Structure formats: structure tokens, C-alpha cells
Amino acid sequence: MALKTIAGVELEVSEDGYLKDMTQWNDEIAKEIATEIGIELTPKHFEVLNYLREKTEAKESLTIRGVGKSGIVTIKELYVLFPKGPLKFSSRIAGIPKPTSCI
């Protein structure tokens, strides 16, 4: 874990830049992380981010299939919003943990 200042707030982040505490997240933090990745956030992005945060708060597993069934975006659209690693990048911007396996 390391400390990083994002949007003027000092936050604890993992080695690959994921927020340690999802409750510290706000829109400004999301925008700054997105800029770092090279994505400019639109209202549609925020709909997806909020959906991912709700699922995570409810301790439900996040899957690409799940996002596709959410009614917010299709999986193709998710790829357009977050190119080259939709779940990986959207999770980082949403301030939730990185999708991982056990090792």
C-alpha cells in the first residue's frame, strides 16, 4: 500500500493504483484516475461506475456478464467506454478493488 494524492486528497492506494477504501471516493477522484488512464468521463461512464459500486457494496461478484445484463450498457458498449480492459479500468476508476484470482 502507498499514499497518493488524487484530486487534492491524500488516499491509500494499492501498488497498482486501486483505492484501499471505497468510501473515500468522489466524482473528482474518479475523473483524475480516468485522466491518468486516458479516459474522459461522461454521464454514461458514471452510470456504470455507480452500478459497480452498488454491486460491490452489496458484496456481489462483478462480472462482465452481469454488467451486460444490468440494462445500463451492453458489453460492447462497456468496451467502448473503457477500452482495453473494461472491468480492470472501470473498477480502478470506481474506487473499488481490482478484479483478481487467488494468486
Q: Decide: 51 and 43 in contact? Cβ < 8 Å.
A: no
Single out the residue of 38, 42, 43, 76 in contact with other proteins (rule: CB under 8 A): 76
Q: Decide: 99 and 87 in contact? Cβ < 8 Å.
A: yes
CB of 59 to other proteins, least distance (A): 7
Q: Which of 18/28 has CB closer to other proteins?
A: 18
Q: Decide: 92 and 22 in contact? Cβ < 8 Å.
A: no
List residues near other proteins by CB under 8 A. 14-16, 59-61, 63-66, 69, 75-76, 78-79, 83-88, 98-103
